[in-house]
Amino acid sequence: MHPNDPRLRTFVDVDAASDFPIQNLPYGVFSMPEQPELRVGVAIGSQILDLAVLESAGLIRCDEVRGVFAKPSLNAFMALGPKVWSQTRGRISELLRHDNPELRDNADLRMRALVPRNRAQMHMPIRVAGFTDFYSSKEHATNVGTMFRDKANPLLPNWLHIPIGYNGRASTVVVSGTPIRRPRGQLKPPTAELPNFGPCKRLDFELEIGVVIGQGSAMGEMLTERQAEEMIFGFTLLNDWSARDIQQWEYVPLGPFQAKAFGTSISPWVVTREALEPFRVHGPAQDPKPLPYLRQTQPNNYDIRLEVDLRTEKMAKSARICRTNFKYMYWSSVQQLVHHASSGCAMNVGDLLGSGTISGPEKAEHGSMLELSWNGTTPLEIDGGERRSFLEDGDSLRIRGWCQGDGYRVGFGEVEGSIVAVE
Amino acid sequence: MHPNDPRLRTFVDVDAASDFPIQNLPYGVFSMPEQPELRVGVAIGSQILDLAVLESAGLIRCDEVRGVFAKPSLNAFMALGPKVWSQTRGRISELLRHDNPELRDNADLRMRALVPRNRAQMHMPIRVAGFTDFYSSKEHATNVGTMFRDKANPLLPNWLHIPIGYNGRASTVVVSGTPIRRPRGQLKPPTAELPNFGPCKRLDFELEIGVVIGQGSAMGEMLTERQAEEMIFGFTLLNDWSARDIQQWEYVPLGPFQAKAFGTSISPWVVTREALEPFRVHGPAQDPKPLPYLRQTQPNNYDIRLEVDLRTEKMAKSARICRTNFKYMYWSSVQQLVHHASSGCAMNVGDLLGSGTISGPEKAEHGSMLELSWNGTTPLEIDGGERRSFLEDGDSLRIRGWCQGDGYRVGFGEVEGSIVAVE
């Protein structure tokens, strides 16, 4: 059976609502209190399958290359290429099947290879080579354009032709759970004559999907749709924390810089492209027709349900503030990658592409506080009597995402971050 | 004597016009045809001093850490910090002195440790962690603003308050001599209704200095002037190749992306901050006074003379097209770095900051074809009868730079690149 087959079962206990059934098998990097070396594992139910242990035991091997799982990032494994990714996932699926005794009946190995997720410390799954952030939701770009530019013509002339993107800062991409310190920066309120330097007052999140590039391309090389697709290893949730007031003052003419440089959070589990195959969908119709280098012959979007929860310091439990879907994206990840390399830009193993803020057509589907509060003009009323235009110190923001199968889900887990006051 | 002392002499033959006297000692990464392993060396006259050989021979040692010179980049050495940088340079200077027999009189070691530069292959001196490009010449920003925006108000309102910068693409930073393929991209001539995709027609260079960051800082940490200065390991020449037509269509609202992603060239020798000490100068007066976090208590500019030569395929020898100076820069490298970290952005060993195009007040001091040909309206008349508005296939562009001492120069060598046609 193919590792995506809905009929597959595993001998590991997996709750029906789990993000991590045997049809998923996402990769992450973890350590345990009693074993602090970072290594690669796969999430299965409430457990982690330790691939370094499996490799030592001779149950798994990658393309004759040894030790790719006893590493602090997925980069070495990703570098082996899509055939190895697929073979490895197939072998892991086989080892976890309910009717395969290899691991199931080896009590000693099972004990060492399957560890409880709730005791593990998760780390950055990849060493980020470069981080690029796109701007590919038409609804989001339209909302921003309507607020700040021209209601009648909210999209700039290039938007429908180019998957607009910019280089972000790789050094501050962090794993879920890392606290985010409120950034300082130059702020110039519209009424002030001169800028001042101080804590950001309009701190925001951006709900995004992160695309993990697992294969490089040479300088000067263009990519076809097929080549680009095969370079994509997998996907994460991504929160592109943003300082709207710093951005507003700094961004002309060279784009956002410090407004986006203080932190970007990703979920620890990389869901493979292969696991998302059953959830492929066509994106929105593209009109005007993209230039030939950007044309698609297949559905390159994915039906990924996304939710954002906010919990302030005063709230006993979190409240839902957004529910949307990755399928709305106008430009697909494949188009983004083809465009990224189009000038001759080399891509590297470990590059991370942010999809851009994912907003849907309805107000409750907006993927940022900027849109949810309409630039602070209609503060969000949160369950429990709190109101928010932007994020305040102590706020915790949590993004979840999953694909709904028939009786199971292929999930991403979550990316969480809490705002820490700046002294 | 201090390694910068003008009276120092070496037993190695050094031409009076050489960029690399004993007062310089820049670091690079090289290999030889007969010894292809990449390793760290120091340029002295027409020779390279192989530091890996010196370390093996026990003549040099860094902070008890072994093997930092037998590496394909300077990153491991840089990570040891400014005290080690200074001690190491002091020791290398000592070993090269005319009156020190340690290396001078050891014929076998001397033969192995000193190799001719003209037989060496130079490589990227650093593994670029992140590449950030600034926009810090007031003359350049004024020229661009005059051409494309408003002659009466060429500078945008933020320019005099912020060292404006943006994240560039690290994957295509290449060493001098690497051919640059003409990029393709989306172009929309003003008269066209729709964009097309094809070879860039307005290919340009940008004369810049690269600042090599040798120490990291933590996420959330701000830097003082002093801390920022001590994180700077050294400087290179840098050519930020630019596709003006791609840029014009893509850059709103998130800045340049593919217009700058196809290649950035740097010179192979990193001139240390310490070697430039004698050439410190005050930058232009800053009015309005910068915000307190950007204030400087010392001269942070450097008097570095810069020249650009162009040679077309038809020309027998190259012609000077620009002569300017790094001292003109409005925002210093220290201010750029302080601003870079100000939001809480972590800096990494191996980060590279481009100064921004260096233009002086006179027309012959403009650091790009865009300015030299005034956006193509006054094509440059080159010696030998050729004319250029932008760069054409087969053109070779060479930047040189040096500080002039009394009877010696502390030079950068050169960064060269030739334009290759796209098929």
In terms of CA atoms, which chain A residue is nearest residue B145? A253
Q: What is the pLDDT of residue A386?
A: 92
Query: What tens digit of pLDDT does each residue of B303-325 get?
Result: 999 999 999 999 999 999 999 99
d(Cα A401, Cα A163) in Å, to the nearest integer? 23
pLDDT confidence of B346, banded at 50, 70, 90?
very high
Query: What tens digit of pLDDT does each residue of B261-286 get?
Result: 999 999 999 999 999 999 999 999 99
| Whether residue A133 has pLDDT greater than 80 | yes
What would be the CATH architecture of the domain defined by B130-420? Alpha-Beta Complex (3.90)
Q: Is A50 annotated as a binding residue?
A: no
Annotated catalytic residue, options A123, A140, A282, A339: A140
In terms of CA atoms, which chain A residue is nearest residue B288? A194
Query: What tens digit of pLDDT does each residue of B162-203 get?
Result: 999 999 999 999 999 999 999 999 999 989 999 999 999 999
Q: What is the pLDDT of residue A64?
A: 77
ipTM: 0.97
Domains A27-123 and A130-420 share a fold: no
CB contact under 8 A, B342 and A174: no
Average pLDDT, chain A: 97
Sequence-distant (≥ 6) Cβ neighbours of residue B202 within 8 angstroms: B243, B244, B245, B370, B376, B389, B390
| Whether residue A65 has pLDDT greater than 90 | no
Per DSSP, helices labelled H in B257-390 are 273-276, 333-341, 369-372
Please report, rounded to a whole number, the percentage of residues in chain B having pLDDT higher than 90: 97
Q: Is A302 annotated as a binding residue?
A: no
Q: What is the pLDDT of residue A383?
A: 79
> What average pLDDT does range A86-114 have in this prediction?
98
Task: Count, in order, helices (H) and strands (E) of chain A.
Answer: 11, 26
Q: Is B377 annotated as a binding residue?
A: no
Query: What tens digit of pLDDT does each residue of A208-234 get?
Result: 999 999 999 999 999 999 999 999 999
* Residues listed for chain B: 423
| Whether residue B384 has pLDDT greater than 80 | no
Of A166, A169, A222, the CB nearest to B130: A169
d(Cα A232, Cα A213) in Å, to the nearest integer? 5
Q: Please state whether the peptide bond connecting residue A101 to the residue before it is cis, i.e. omega within 30 degrees of 0.
A: no
| Whether residue A110 has pLDDT greater than 80 | yes
Q: Is A366 a catalytic residue?
A: no
CATH code of the domain made up of A27-123? 2.30.30.230
In terms of CA atoms, which chain B residue is nearest residue A199? B343
Q: What is the pLDDT of residue B64?
A: 77
| Whether residue B359 has pLDDT greater than 90 | yes
For residue A344, the distance in angstroms to the closest alpha carbon of chain B comes to 5
A-chain CB neighbours of B255 within 8 Å are 166, 251, 253-256
> What average pLDDT does range A100-112 have in this prediction?
98
Please report, rounded to a whole number, the percentage of residues in chain A having pLDDT higher than 90: 97
| Whether residue A155 has pLDDT greater than 90 | yes
| Whether residue B63 has pLDDT greater than 80 | no
Residue type, B115: V
Burial A311-340 (b: 16+ CB within 10 A, else e): bbeebeebbebbebbbbbbbbbbbbbbbbb
Residue B59: name the closest of B69, B48, B74 by CA. Answer: B69
CB contact under 8 A, B171 and A130: yes
In chain B, what are the domain boundaries? 27-123, 130-420
Q: What is the pLDDT of residue B65?
A: 82
| Whether residue B385 has pLDDT greater than 90 | no
Annotated catalytic residue, options B2, B123, B140, B366: B140
Radius of gyration of chain B (CA): 22
d(Cα B369, Cα B243) in Å, to the nearest integer? 11
Q: What is the pLDDT of residue B288?
A: 97
| Whether residue B341 has pLDDT greater than 80 | yes
| Whether residue A113 has pLDDT greater than 80 | yes
> What average pLDDT does range B36-54 have in this prediction?
98
